[in-house]
Structure 1
């Protein structure tokens, strides 16, 4: 068997010094994007990242390991129900195949710490979750040759395979339901505009209203937390005091909005209809219970994990980026 390539050979193939190649591996910010890409391309060509010694050979890791990387601050990982549902489903698939899963967080500020072990062979593949626009780790992984599958569409301009949910159609369904119930003064609490899923929900909702002749829709932005939903609802009531419907891009934000409406003396749904998004457990425990758009979180996670395992087995990404359907669940709030 041929010897595994050295870092010096990678550097020579990339046309850079060994010190520069080493800085790329350690995630140093003192390397240009083009140089980083040259080094990752050379690593990929020579098999520096992906080549594994045969099972049982001395000094090399025999087992496969998958890293699930959540692009959020760690407190969100432990408080947001979406991540618990997604990671549990991923781990169930991987465990069935005898593959352990490690969980990491990586914000833009911590990407330089997260990147080195991921691209240098400490793991065999990456499930990337919730990457927003210009996230440096998404850029690095796209250039690295490491097997990756995104749970959720990656940011624009990042070429990574993914599994997504039809967030745009989820927004359309919410808008159509409000229009069919003769709501005239409609507002929305959108998620972070840099997150593809949040942007798709807003665009699907807004375009459906525009097609129906509703052109002036107030938009407030939140970060999927209860507090942000409550504050956004407060801002909307000041901006549009006669509103009679609101669509929130998450159930947790919708619950926060309902709290603000209750304090303002507005009855749901008599005065203001409220629709959420996720069909998270909180949707069945609000008063009134929450009409929401159900997204198949577990199904998306399961499919992403299986497709990543197929990539590890075959060396090639399965063709296509599946997009799963969403579904409006009508309860009492709208």
Structure 2
């Protein structure tokens, strides 16, 4: 009994939802709340549940599967707000192509080696890889196993156009950040700070580079966060302690911006009168802030669709040109 593979019913029970709801989450349906989606994904991870997508494909006469892999490390959880939007795009594109999506979690080097071997099966069209690690070891394992792979975002430590800059879909992080800071400059803000993401991750490095390019020699005010709300709160506290005259903040994610807004309110700073705040990703619609957050929109759902189209259009694990999707500033109430 100890070796029994977990079932969909086990996942549903662990998440406290019905079997149908669990199935909708695993198959990427948009008809669930973010809280329910997160609960089911936690249950999938905790139970190491792997949907038997190959069997369902055979039963339905469908051509194969696209494996969506969320790669973590022990003690971390991949629960970024944009994940649901990305999955919406992935499942829509896979369904249009007649392919199923199988969801996989991996949390250790041993898990990654096992998963790479498992994903060599003929009915797997390839892998869509989401990883928060700056240098994801699974990417190399899949490449050596001959499994076509498309990543969400440029791999950490790889410069645009450099070696390894292929097979991924990303947002225009540098351009979006630059436009956000230029907007703040145009509004007369004089001391513009940034809550930057981890510099070892490409999104963190690129959004910081865009901030610096827009400042064009003006004084920098930088504090680093970890793309979490508490990280944004702590970074905002450090910025205010060092630069109490700051009058604008560009946060490298909406989640960190939400943490910054919390700290600004705690310290009695009015937004946007005293301090303007701009985020990045445009998850504010799904995660409301007060006031509503001005942010850089990244087309997350379209990025998911593009990942599938890139993967299914590949003849094999050959190098493919990266795709960088445009971003745009969305003006709301914080700037």
Which TM class, normalised by the smaller chain length?
Answer: 0.7 to 0.9
**CA distance in structure 2 between the aligned counterparts of 1:130 and 1:326, rounded to whole angstroms:** 21
Q: Tell me the CA shift for residue 130 of structure 1.
A: 3.5
* 1:305 partnered with 2:318: no
* 1:218 partnered with 2:224: no
Alignment size in residue pairs = 270
1:278 counterpart residue number: 281
Q: Secondary structure at the match of 2:178?
A: helix
Return 5+ residue gaps in structure 1 as ranges: 1-54
1:144 counterpart residue number: 145
Pair 131,114 (structure 1): closer, same or farther in 2 beyond 3 Å: farther
- Can you list the C-alpha shifts for 1:19-62, whole angstroms capped at 9, x where unaligned? xxxxxxxxxxxxxxxxxxxxxxxxxxxxxxxxxxxx99xxxx98
Structure 1 counterpart of 2:203, from 197, 214, 227:
197
Give the conservation status (yes or no) of the 8 Å contact 1:283–1:289.
no
1:254 counterpart residue number: 257
Q: Tell me the CA shift for residue 271 of structure 1.
A: 0.8
- Can you list the C-alpha shifts for 1:262-299, whole angstroms capped at 9, x where unaligned? 00010011111100011114577322111100000011
Moved >6 Å (runs of 4+): none
**CA distance in structure 2 between the aligned counterparts of 1:322 and 1:277, rounded to whole angstroms:** 19
Pair 274,91 (structure 1): closer, same or farther in 2 beyond 3 Å: same
Pair 181,244 (structure 1): closer, same or farther in 2 beyond 3 Å: same
TM-score by length of 2: 0.73
Mapping for residues 142-221 of structure 1, pairs under 5 Å: 142-155=143-156, 156=158, 157-158=163-164, 160-209=166-215, 211=216, 213-214=217-218, 216-221=219-224
**CA distance in structure 1 between the aligned counterparts of 2:277 and 2:114, rounded to whole angstroms:** 41
**CA distance in structure 1 between the aligned counterparts of 2:132 and 2:120, rounded to whole angstroms:** 17
**CA distance in structure 1 between the aligned counterparts of 2:118 and 2:169, rounded to whole angstroms:** 24
Q: Secondary structure at the match of 2:313?
A: helix
Q: Secondary structure at the match of 1:306?
A: helix
Q: Tell me the CA shift for residue 105 of structure 1.
A: 2.8
Range with greater deviation from structure 2 (189-198 or 260-269): 189-198
Range with greater deviation from structure 2 (119-128 or 137-146): 119-128
Give the conservation status (yes or no) of the 8 Å contact 2:151–2:168.
yes
2:231 counterpart residue number: 228
Larger radius of gyration: 1
**CA distance in structure 2 between the aligned counterparts of 1:174 and 1:111, rounded to whole angstroms:** 38
**CA distance in structure 1 between the aligned counterparts of 2:280 and 2:202, rounded to whole angstroms:** 15
1:46 counterpart residue number: none
Mapping for residues 1-334 of structure 1, pairs under 5 Å: 63-72=63-72, 76-77=77-78, 79-107=79-107, 109=109, 110-119=111-120, 123-130=124-131, 132-155=133-156, 156=158, 157-158=163-164, 160-209=166-215, 211=216, 213-214=217-218, 216-282=219-285, 285-311=288-314, 314-315=315-316, 320-334=321-335
